[in-house]
Amino acid sequence: MTSSQGPRAHWSSRWAFFLVTVGSAVGLGNIWKFPYMTGSNGGSAFVLVYLACILIIGVPLLMAETLLGRRGQGNPVMTMRVLADEAGASRWWQVIGLIGIVGAFIILAFYSVVAGWVLEYTWRAGLGFAAQPKEAFADAFGALLASPGRLIFWHTVFMALTAAVVLGGVTSGIERANKIMMPALFGILVFLVAYGAIAADLPAAFRFLFHFDPSAINRGVLFSAMGHAFFTLSLGMGAIITYGSYLGREVSIPRTCLAIAAADTGVALLAGLSIFAIVFAQGLEPAAGPGLLLQTLPLAFSQMPGGHVVGLVFFVLVVFAAWTSAISLLEPGVTLLVERFDLGRKAAVLLLSTGIWLLGVAVALSFNEWSAFSLFGLGLFDLLDTLTTKIMMPLAGLLIALFTAWAMKRAHVEEEVGLRGGAFRLWFGVVRYVSPVAIVLIFLNVIGVIG
Ligand code: PFF
Ligand code: NA
């Protein structure tokens, strides 16, 4: 990171944007959420819709959001105001930035609690997972959820880690660590898939994830898979706008965004394969829900030779992946507070992370002391997840598509995104028509207006 290239600091190299954005994208969404959502939504039907959503909504919008960030050069709200003014459009478009900041606040609250689970399991991995009957692993996870003290302790540790990095500004530390940790994460997942081929049931995992069965697609699957495509690519929450604002002009947005989406999807599929290979070999329940990751891999670590080391390395890498994503959830709000309200960076970080921490404490308590609370039939955790992933993110995405392709001057978009001729027309057409229509259709379908 250097500040020599203009009013805003910019990434130190063309790799840096790629690395931090992969850091934001690759996280608990890939390793914890994707597998359990797939398991709870019938396997391949979910994967199929998810992949389609990545391709026709996710990648085009990732490009759009990045170009907004680079052109606007500010926090998400300011960027939208600058761009709206430039386009001669209403300042109401600032609402995109606002949805993002509020959404990121809510996501980080429950994200941090889940990252806390992973911290607890990193600790347990360090002690070594004892060989036990498979039921014991489910019970151990249940015991963690039942313990408010442990949940809150680890949630606090994780928020402190996140706040510490954001306090230091957009540091070269994040960039540098990503360069090592992301390839390492990829490598250990490949290893776990290989383990699945040798010691578990990889063919069954393949069938479960990729068996072509469009008849299994229903409303719930559509809605969940679309929401997850947004979640996994960090879309609509200000993270990409903020990171894009640090992006140098020489970088190709299309190529970088494609690579980011490919890396993100690759990690999710590898995680899914390794986890389901164990699920089917051990006769576990694919639809176990949010505990799936923590009830399957520890079981494998307890049985494989060298599992002690592999388990520890794996969980450390997952913590790191979650950490880099959490940083990208906190940074946009901090930039807003600093640039808009003239707050010092330190005060902004403390204020925001304390607020998020408090909501996270409520999430932690919702698994035990406050488990009786529910709204629309959802506990607090599911409520916040649904509100952000399935509603706020697609809504922000829809508005980003509409703004980019309908409100901005086409020549500006063309110049900024760096695509020419047919390639530009294809991408622009998708952002102008296909992505918004797809999002709206899925919404209408869920509300029950169509289908
Ligand atoms: N993309 C992250 C993951 O898959 O874990 C989660 C996330 C990060 C969502 C940043 C939204 C965001 F702005
Ligand atoms: Na992701």
Q: Considering the domain boundaries, does residue 423 fall inside one?
A: yes
Q: Considering the domain boundaries, does residue 411 fall inside one?
A: yes
How close is the Cα of 260 to the center of ligand 2, in Å? 10
Which of 53, 174, 325, 387 for mutating ligand 1's site (highest number of atoms within 8 Å of CB)? 325
In 10 A of CB 343, how many CB atoms?
17
* CATH number of the domain to which 305 belongs: 1.10.4160
In this prediction, residue 91 carries a pLDDT of: 97
pLDDT tens, residue by residue, 12-35: 666 778 888 999 999 999 999 999
Split at pLDDT 50, 70, 90, the class of 170 is: low
Burial class (CB in 10 A: 0-12, 13-18, 19+), 407: middle
Enumerate residues lining ligand 1, CB below 6 A.
Answer: 24-25, 27-30, 104, 107, 231-232, 234, 237, 239, 325, 328-329
Q: Considering the domain boundaries, does residue 281 fall inside one?
A: yes
d(CA 295, CA 284): 9
How close is the Cα of 230 to the center of ligand 1, in Å? 8
Split at pLDDT 50, 70, 90, the class of 451 is: low
d(CA 214, CA 217): 6
Of the candidates 75, 50, 26, the one whose C-alpha atom is nearest the C-alpha of residue 335 is 75
In this prediction, residue 5 carries a pLDDT of: 39
Which of 66, 232, 235, 241 for mutating ligand 1's site (highest number of atoms within 8 Å of CB)? 232
Complex ipTM tops 0.95: yes
Q: Which domain holds residue 270?
A: 16-447
Q: Considering the domain boundaries, does residue 6 fall inside one?
A: no
Which of 107, 185, 242, 323 for mutating ligand 1's site (highest number of atoms within 8 Å of CB)? 107
Domains in the chain: how many in total?
Answer: 1
Ligand nearest to the CA of 234: 1
Residue 281 identity (one-letter amino acid):
A
How close is the Cα of 342 to the center of ligand 2, in Å? 32
Split at pLDDT 50, 70, 90, the class of 394 is: very high
Q: Considering the domain boundaries, does residue 116 fall inside one?
A: yes
* The pLDDT of residue 173 is above 70: no
Q: Considering the domain boundaries, does residue 95 fall inside one?
A: yes
Q: Considering the domain boundaries, does residue 1 fall inside one?
A: no
Q: Considering the domain boundaries, does residue 4 fall inside one?
A: no
Residue partners of 169: CB distance under 8 A and separation at least 6: 1, 9, 345
Whole-structure pTM value: 0.95
* The pLDDT of residue 210 is above 50: yes
Give how far Cα 436 sits from Cα of 34, 305, 433, Å: 24, 50, 6
* The pLDDT of residue 446 is above 90: no
